[in-house]
């Protein structure tokens, strides 16, 4: 077949395949044109999920009558004039393809009136044939009607989802663009029913809450930061609101990024947002956040894809660090201890004694028995109502953790100096030295109960020690390679090829963490050295590394980003090295653990995002006991 020029209608339909994927694409393109026209309010009406009817009306500056025909021709635009203008695009549209592409696959009508005209003008495009402009009645602004979308391309119409699904996609696009332009009012009506009504506001906080949901009101933290200098055009700033860790969702649907007023999708920024919450949100969940970024348009290329949602930054890494640090600093300043509200009172029958399943609360006076017996002797630290067994059924002798092991685990972290109790020393004299003026109780050999100025605090001993170990391992790594213990005989275990490939990519990082391992044949791994700290914590090298490599092979560990991979591996190491639920702790071990709690940053959660401690506010306790505050 010889080379030939394609007909304009065919060219427009090819372009429509890139620009107009579904009804939501039509809404997005027309709304962005309204933004460029200076609209203050936009009304969207759809029917049949947008396949049958879309009408978008704005109150912008409108299109002059003599330019209506050009507006629906391909590659005709008022946004740019030459290729050099692409180096600093600041408008939403600039390709000049949208209206022509939409008109080529629908029955299209464009009506517009400028503020200086006495009447509006209307033009129709049917089956690719552009009609002549005609006068009509209409208010200032522009109105676009799209009927029977994709009627000229039936195959593409069949690929559309259900009416409900397409309506939901349109609503999602409107919400996203409403976040980008809070000063514009939006109203979306589907089949006569109002789906969205967002009034214009000068406070982006109100728009964010209006879009993400009123349930997040009061649960968002403000972030801000900047890098670069305005003098050389490198100034980049970020402002936004992120949700508290407990607002994290199963998907990243509620993560939004607005760059210079343009809603964008960028994996690097999404990663930065999640990294800012590392250790505060479980790995399988995604934090909520809206980030507004401002930078010199010449430092970003928006001419990457016809949809204009993907961009390419000249320098992406500094931007990643800016977003991550802004989030981390905001979270560090916030009180992330989660308060508990007791929904239903549980009152045991009158006179019923505590049982092994109903722990008794021990007062300070019961920390030492007759003759000054220590808590480890009287089992006051276990609070099991006289039972010597943990909730896992293990005996104290099999699960006990001696002080030497705890000291070895935390290494060079400063410990409080404890004064040994003599036979005549009372608990009142010992406890303030160990843990301050507040009594600390161990419940079910898993939780520590104490108080702070706001109420009762319940601590998960494993989660807290896991956070302590993570911070310690991270500091040691920063100071130099971790100490490794050589194996007299290499430990060999079977591994899948994907795990061996993961070992090769992670080998430099693992070696610096004290793990020396090599491939042993096509389906084996040999461990020659293992971190001394993990050895001291009785972590099995084979099962540890096998699990670690399986996670890396499945993509749970980011092998492309060094910092992310380091944090992922330290997560696993700290979890394996930490004391476990069911480990009985002595009073000095408890004191040392709580002392370390005051030294670590962001102690509100373990590296996996679970809370290290929860608080029952004193007001809640007073309410449940029927007491008046004060």
Burial (Cβ within 10 Å: 0-12, 13-18, ≥19) of residue 45: middle
Element (H, E) at 624: helix 618-624
Summarize pLDDT for 328-347 with one digit per residue, the tens: 899 888 867 666 666 654 45
DSSP string, 98-146: HHHHHHTTSEEEEEEE-TT-SSEEEEEEETTEE---EEE---SEEEEEE
Q: Which of 124-133, 205-214, 265-274, 388-397 has the lowest mean pLDDT?
A: 388-397
Summarize pLDDT for 4-56 with one digit per residue, the tens: 555 655 555 444 445 688 899 999 999 998 998 999 999 999 999 999 999 99
According to the model, what pLDDT value does residue 625 have?
A: 84
According to the model, what pLDDT value does residue 280 have?
A: 80
Q: Cα 78 from chain centroid?
A: 39
Cβ-Cβ contacts under 8 Å for 14 (sequence gap 6 or more): 6
Summarize pLDDT for 61-114 with one digit per residue, the tens: 999 898 888 888 865 555 444 445 445 555 665 455 778 888 888 999 999 999
DSSP lists the bridge partners of residue 107 as 126, 147
Distance CA 413, CA 465 (A): 12
Distance CA 330, CA 95 (A): 39
CA angle 255, 261, 266 (to 5 degrees): 40
According to the model, what pLDDT value does residue 426 have?
A: 40
According to the model, what pLDDT value does residue 31 have?
A: 94
Half-sphere exposure of 556 (CA within 13 A, CB side): 17
- Total length of the chain: 630
CA angle 73, 53, 55 (to 5 degrees): 65
Domains within the chain, CATH numbers bracketed: 8-198 (3.30.565.10), 204-333 (3.30.230.10), 364-465+582-624 (3.30.1540.20), 481-577 (3.30.1370.100)
Contact (Cβ atoms closer than 8 angstroms) between residue 563 and residue 569: no
Residue 513: DSSP 8-state: T
According to the model, what pLDDT value does residue 338 have?
A: 63
According to the model, what pLDDT value does residue 162 have?
A: 87
pLDDT of 607 higher than 70: yes
pLDDT above 70 as % of the chain: 74
Distance CA 119, CA 483 (A): 81
Residue 244: count other Cβ atoms within 10 Å of its Cβ. 22
pLDDT of 453 higher than 80: yes
Summarize pLDDT for 578-602 with one digit per residue, the tens: 888 888 888 888 888 888 776 664 4
Mean pLDDT computed over 297-316: 73
Three-state DSSP state, 79: coil
Distance CA 110, CA 376 (A): 83
Distance CA 388, CA 234 (A): 65
Distance CA 575, CA 581 (A): 12
Mean pLDDT computed over 272-294: 87
DSSP lists the bridge partners of residue 144 as 56, 110
Residue 444 banded pLDDT, cuts 50, 70, 90: confident
CA 188 vs CA 39, 42, 142, 168, 215: distances in Å: 16, 9, 16, 11, 21
Distance CA 397, CA 387 (A): 13
Q: Which is higher by pLDDT, 434 or 487? A: 487
CA angle 397, 401, 406 (to 5 degrees): 170
User: 218 — alpha (psi -120 to 50), left (phi > 0) or beta?
Assistant: left
Residue 72: count other Cβ atoms within 10 Å of its Cβ. 22
Q: Residue 565 has which token pair?
A: 């991979």
Contact (Cβ atoms closer than 8 angstroms) between residue 136 and residue 120: yes
Sheet bearing 524-531, strands edge to edge? 484-494, 524-531, 516-519
Contact (Cβ atoms closer than 8 angstroms) between residue 274 and residue 280: no
Q: Which of 86-95, 162-171, 552-561 has the lowest mean pLDDT?
A: 86-95
Mean pLDDT of the chain: 77
Three-state DSSP state, 243: strand
Helix axes 461-479, 587-597, angle to 10 degrees: 60
Model pTM score: 0.59
């Amino acid at each position: 077949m010889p080379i030939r020029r394609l007909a304009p209608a065919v060219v427009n339909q090819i372009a429509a395949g890139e620009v107009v994927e579904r009804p939501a694409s039509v809404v997005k393109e027309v709304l962005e044109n309204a933004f460029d026209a200076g609209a203050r309010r936009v009304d969207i009406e759809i029917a049949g999920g947008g396949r049958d009817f879309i009408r978008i009306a704005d109150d912008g500056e409108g299109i002059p009558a003599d330019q209506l025909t050009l507006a629906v021709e391909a590659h005709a635009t008022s946004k740019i004039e030459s290729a050099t203008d692409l180096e600093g695009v600041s408008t939403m549209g600039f390709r000049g393809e949208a209206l022509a592409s939409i008109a080529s696959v629908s029955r299209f009508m464009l009506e517009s009136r400028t503020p200086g005209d006495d009447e509006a003008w209307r033009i129709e495009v049917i089956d690719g044939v552009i009609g002549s402009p005609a006068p009509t009645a209409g208010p200032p602004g522009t109105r676009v009607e799209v009927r029977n979308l994709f009627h000229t391309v039936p195959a593409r119409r069949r690929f559309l989802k259900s009416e409900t699904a397409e309506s939901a996609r349109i609503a999602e696009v409107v919400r996203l663009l409403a976040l980008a332009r809070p000063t514009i009012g939006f109203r979306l009506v589907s089949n006569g029913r109002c789906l969205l009504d967002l009034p214009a506001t000068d406070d982006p906080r109100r728009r964010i809450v209006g879009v993400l949901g009123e349930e997040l009101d009061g649960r968002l933290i403000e972030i801000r930061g900047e890098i670069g200098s305005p003098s050389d055009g490198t100034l980049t700033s970020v402002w936004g609101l992120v949700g508290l860790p407990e607002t994290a969702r199963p998907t990243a649907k509620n993560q939004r990024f607005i760059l210079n007023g343009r809603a964008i999708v960028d994996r690097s920024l999404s990663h930065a947002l999640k990294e800012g919450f590392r250790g505060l949100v479980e790995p399988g969940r995604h934090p909520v956040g809206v980030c507004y970024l401002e930078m010199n348009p010449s430092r970003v290329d928006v001419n990457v894809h016809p949809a204009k949602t993907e961009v390419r930054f000249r320098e992406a890494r500094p931007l990643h660090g800016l977003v991550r640090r802004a989030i981390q600093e905001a979270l560090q300043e916030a009180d992330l201890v989660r308060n508990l509200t007791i929904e239903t009172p549980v009152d045991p029958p009158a006179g019923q004694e505590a049982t092994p399943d109903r722990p008794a609360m021990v007062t300070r006076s019961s920390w030492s028995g007759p003759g000054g017996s220590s808590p480890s002797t009287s089992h006051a630290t276990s609070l099991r109502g006289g039972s010597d067994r943990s909730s896992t059924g293990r005996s104290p002798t099999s699960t006990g953790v001696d002080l030497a092991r705890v000291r070895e685990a935390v290494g060079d972290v400063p410990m409080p100096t404890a004064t040994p109790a003599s036979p005549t020393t009372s608990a009142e004299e010992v406890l303030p030295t160990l843990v301050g003026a507040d009594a600390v109780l161990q419940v079910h050999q898993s939780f520590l109960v104490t108080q702070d100025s706001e109420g009762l605090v319940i601590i998960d001993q494993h989660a807290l020690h896991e956070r302590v170990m993570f911070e310690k391992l991270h500091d040691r790594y920063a100071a130099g390679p971790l100490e490794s213990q050589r194996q007299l005989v290499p430990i060999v275990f079977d591994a899948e090829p994907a795990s061996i490939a993961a070992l090769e990519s992670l080998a430099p990082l693992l070696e610096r963490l004290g793990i020396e391992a090599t491939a042993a044949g096509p389906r084996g791994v040999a461990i020659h050295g293992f971190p001394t700290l993990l050895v001291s914590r009785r972590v099995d090298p084979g099962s540890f590394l096998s699990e670690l490599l399986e996670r890396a092979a499945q993509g749970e560990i980011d092998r492309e980003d060094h910092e992310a991979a380091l944090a992922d591996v330290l997560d696993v190491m700290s979890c394996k090295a930490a004391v476990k639920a069911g480990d009985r702790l002595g009073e000095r071990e408890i004191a040392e653990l709580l002392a370390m709690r005051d030294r670590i940053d962001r102690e509100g959660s373990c590296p996996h995002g679970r809370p290290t401690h929860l608080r029952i506010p004193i007001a809640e306790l007073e309410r449940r006991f029927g007491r008046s505050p004060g």
